Structure 1
Amino acid sequence: MTGAAPLLKLNNGVEMPAVGLGVFQSPPEETVPAVEAALGCGYRLIDTAAAYGNEKEVGEGIRRSGVDRGDIFVTTKLWLDDYGYDSALRAFDTSLGKLGLDRLDLYLLHQPVPFAQDAWVASYKAAEKLLADGRVRAIGVSNHTAGLLNTLVEHTDVVPAVNQIELHPYFVQSELRELHDRLGIVTECWSPLGGITVYRPQGVNGGRSVMEEPVVVGLAAKYGKTPAQVVLRWHIEHGLCAIPKSVKPHRIAENFDLFDFALTSDEVAAIDALDTGRRSGPDPESIRLDSFSRR
């Protein structure tokens, strides 16, 4: 294992690691050892959500790791069931209690809800209060398109520090990233290895695997790395934050062993060329408060 994840400066000066552990779909009983393993091999960013059902286990993994809390960047997210000003504040308290923490590093709205704008905006205003009160170090959003992001910014006071979005070589989101750059928003990437194209085979990119693309396989051979490491390094070269998910200790360690090689600009461009311009996850423009049951 070499090096440490670079730090990305948020628009309020807070620094966030560029690589973290995601725990979406990690069973609670496997989340504690996964978090402990990640922190043990150098990760300092852990990303969870109320909807994942494993906030308590994330907190336990943090405590078992022995790593100082001040060195760990912890993110969780507000779920649709709790949108609204007062309910969002209560949900934050619930999440903090499950995590066993007295402060959060980053709090995100998990989804936009364009068909319930009052509740959506009120939820973000609640996050603004949490920020003002010092209960969270930064606030942001997840799954917001450029149009939805502009709408939210027009109705609120604090520009989101982060927008966590589907982003991988099949869906590079160039236009949205350009808006992020103009607004000073850090782009954080879920499914950074393109796993969603595997577990959602009915999607537009279903049946394809980024890890099997010849350009990725070829670069892995060149650098003596795995295809996953090449793709994660691609995120780093773009200045993105990636949160790959795994519960396997060897895979967790592999996904962090990224700091002893670099891709050239031509190699980055070759991976960029895999872009289909089509998302595999849900369309954020169609989200309603009852779009999903709590996962």
Structure 2
Amino acid sequence: MKMYSEIFSKVIALPWAQCVDKPGVLRLIAEMASSHPAIGQVRKEEVLKALEAREKMGSSGVGGGIALPHCRLDELDDFVIGVMTVPEGVDFDAIDGEKVKVIVFIIGPRFRTSDYLQILSIVSNVLRQPHVVAMLLRQTTADELREVFRSFLEQAIPVETEEKRKEKSVTDEVSFAISTEAERKVESERGVNPEWLVIRLFAAVILLGAFLLSCPFSSKTNQWTHPVDSIFMATSAVCVTGLSVLDVGSYYSTAGQIIILVLIQVGGLGLMTLGTFLMVMVGRRLSLRDEVVLTDS
């Protein structure tokens, strides 16, 4: 499609990059991105901050000597795509533990979700081919590297009619849902329904908090608290409303006050943030769909 061809024609490249670690790679990416015409008035510090935030959600080192750092910014109107090679390899916390030699970065506008995912898909499909990585590593000049990479991207652009393209631009979020249908089915088979995830988390935290607040150790009188009052207090704390049917200072013990404080902190920090942290802690990698939902929430 013409739009993607125009984006890929502006790819920036850097062969034989001198990087010793992951932070150094991200700084170099921010430097390279600042020279791209689409970056506009966005400062390289903002780009670096966004890349670092994305990497905290899970390493973009996808294995096989490849890393795909990416992020989205509100200030951008177009995409910034770049490729760099590090023949000696650099530690990037890749999922296979191997050093990364080919790094492709994508920085896109936050509002162009379907294009963002489409470009990620195209780049991923290109880099999945071993001969592409080998070819990129053989290039010694920026012009050669840019042209070789651009040609591979052009060949991978899906054929699409103009009518379908117009439908996609009008229904961006619908296209996003369709493009991730396979992933949604996998999540459903696992018993995870993303649309209900937030509601379930809220309900679980509120019910747990209500139970703890009902226990005798939570009140100064050492007696059970009525469940309705406890549910109201827990809901108010998680939703950070400030409403209360019981005087926190005079009714609740130190333990009860700590429970309320924890519920307030959980609600203020955000359940999706905590959910992401727990997924990372148990070793689950965030999918592209998870990432987009979390960054938009």
TM-score per shorter chain, which class? under 0.3
Q: Which has the larger radius of gyration?
A: 2
What TM-score results when the alignment is normalised by the length of structure 2?
Answer: 0.25
Higher helix share: 2
Task: Between the two structures, name the one with larger relative contact order (CA 8 Å, sep ≥ 6).
Answer: 1
What TM-score results when the alignment is normalised by the length of structure 1?
Answer: 0.25
